[in-house]
Amino acid sequence: MKLRIVYDNEADEGFLNGWGFSCLIETAREKVLFDAGWDGNILLHNLKRFGVGREEIDVIVISHTHWDHVGGITHILHPQVVVHLPDSSSPRLKEEIARRAKRVETKPLSIAEHIYTTGEFKSGKEQALVIETRVGLLVVTGCAHPGLETILDAARAFGDVCGLIGGFHGFNRYEYIGDLSMIIPCHCTRYKQ
């Protein structure tokens, strides 16, 4: 399994940056894109730099429908991709995506081999991913509006969490994540030490 940050506020040389977030998770069988950043052109450029075309993406999971996480989705939709949107998404967005892809209502479920969604948290109207790895569970967040503690507690229902990637929002209770072996704060993280 391979994870790559495709869209973030900061970018390595050769990649473009922009306000937003997207993470590509590649399993042996599927490519899952978590969030789509804001600018679809930046998203496509960075995917191309990783050698991935939009038609290769099997599943798209949108954490929440703020523009900096869903804005680029129109550039990567295709008829075979399955899109997991939060239930709180607008009816219009649901309709538009259903016209161009296969839309699925979000529930805590397996979305790909070893990859699960927490389902939408009613507070914060957001979902996160939980990924099984050889050393434990890895949690991928969009912005963590429901609170990182809430997301991690839900993820721990799947097993032992060893890592965390994504937006941490205003989280600053570092003791709560002190036992994790991998912590990668990205877009929408206010406090970084």
Instruction: For residues 15-19, give the mean pLDDT.
Output: 97
| CA dist 38 → 15, 71, 102 (Å) | 15, 4, 21
What is the C-alpha to C-alpha distance for residues 90 and 149, in angstroms, rounded to an integer? 27
pLDDT tens sequence across 153-192:
999 999 999 999 999 998 998 899 999 999 999 998 988 7
What is the C-alpha to C-alpha distance for residues 94 and 110, in angstroms, rounded to an integer? 21
Query: Is the entire prediction scored with pTM above 0.75?
Result: yes
CATH code at 181? 3.60.15.10
pLDDT tens sequence across 102-158:
988 777 789 999 999 999 999 889 999 999 999 999 999 999 999 999 999 999 999
Decide if 191 is inside a domain.
Answer: no
Decide if 192 is inside a domain.
Answer: no
Decide if 138 is inside a domain.
Answer: yes
Cα dihedral sign, 19-25-30-34: negative
Give the domain range for residue 100.
2-185
Question: Structurally, how many domains does the chain consist of?
Answer: 1
pLDDT tens sequence across 56-77:
999 999 999 999 999 999 999 9
Decide if 190 is inside a domain.
Answer: no
Whether residue 18 contacts residue 42, with contact meaning beta carbons closer than 8 Å, is answered with: yes
